[in-house]
């Protein structure tokens, strides 16, 4: 049975360094029916990040109050001391426009959203060809210290074990192929 586009969601999850952000940006630029879900976070803004654009930035206290008030669809302490979550108000805001929500969230959050929305949700896991490639990419990106890279790689190894819980897996070996594959997956879900 066809599901109305008014309440569909697409989830992209991946270990960091798998190329998820590039794929998500590409899809948002190409399909006007997709809208990015702006997450809430308790971490500080980085670089040019703006409140209400990249994230809704809150203090840890504000974030915890929102948890208590039941304002989140899902939330996770993705890194020790840093909370990330999706506000119910954000989901309502995007669905009210008739858009499909595009989530860029961590692996556990992705699984939770999939569980919540069932057949209205398409969960896509982006994986690097190997853990070695992932490490190389993080080193080349140059934004993390060697210790932070080790932490991210360890987390990635753990996250890769959840890949089987997603509807689709895209192996990001060649970016061009990964983008094309992502487009096909999105178009098919849109037309379902
Ligand atoms: P960063 O601090 O690099 O922007 O994001 C760190 C991680 O948090 C990324 O893996 C990102 O996908 C994840 N993340 C962002 N928003 C959410 C969210 O709303 N919920 C969950 N569970 N994870 C999120």
The pLDDT score that the predictor gives to residue 6 is 67
- CB atoms < 10 A from the CB of 175, how many? 12
The pLDDT score that the predictor gives to residue 24 is 96
The pLDDT score that the predictor gives to residue 4 is 57
CA 111, chain centre distance (Å): 11
39 C-beta closer than 6 A to ligand 1: yes
27 C-beta closer than 6 A to ligand 1: no
User: Atom 2, ligand 1: which residue's CA is nearest?
Assistant: 43
3-state secondary structure of 95: helix
17 C-beta closer than 6 A to ligand 1: no
Q: Is the dihedral of CA 107, 113, 118, 124 positive or negative?
A: negative
User: Atom 14, ligand 1: which residue's CA is nearest?
Assistant: 105
Closest CA to 120 of 97, 91, 142: 91
85 C-beta closer than 6 A to ligand 1: yes
Mutate to test the pocket of ligand 1, among 18, 78, 144 (most ligand atoms within 8 A of CB): 78
The pLDDT score that the predictor gives to residue 1 is 43
**Which residues of the chain carry a pLDDT beneath 50?**
1-2
43 C-beta closer than 6 A to ligand 1: yes
**Could you tell me the CA-to-CA distances from 99 to 48, 73, 92, 131 in Å, in that order?**
26, 18, 10, 35
């Amino acid at each position: 049975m066809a599901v109305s586009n008014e309440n569909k969601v697409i989830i992209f999850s991946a270990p960091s360094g798998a190329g998820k952000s590039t794929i998500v940006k590409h899809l948002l630029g190409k399909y006007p029916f997709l809208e990015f879900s702006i997450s809430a976070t308790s971490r500080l803004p980085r670089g040019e990040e703006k409140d209400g654009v990249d994230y809704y930035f809150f203090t840890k206290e504000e974030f915890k109050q929102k948890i208590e008030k039941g304002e989140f669809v899902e939330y996770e302490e993705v890194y020790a001391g840093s909370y990330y979550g999706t506000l119910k108000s954000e989901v309502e805001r995007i669905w009210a426009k008739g858009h499909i929500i595009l989530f860029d969230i961590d692996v556990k959050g992705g699984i939770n959203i999939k569980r919540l929305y069932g057949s209205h949700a398409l969960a896509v896991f982006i994986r690097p060809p190997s853990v070695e490639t992932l490490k190389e990419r993080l080193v080349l990106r140059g934004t993390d210290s060697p210790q932070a890279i080790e932490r991210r790689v360890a987390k990635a190894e753990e996250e890769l074990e959840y890949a089987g819980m997603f509807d689709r897996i895209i192996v990001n070996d060649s970016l061009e192929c990964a983008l094309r594959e992502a487009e096909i997956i999105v178009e098919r879900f849109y037309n379902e």
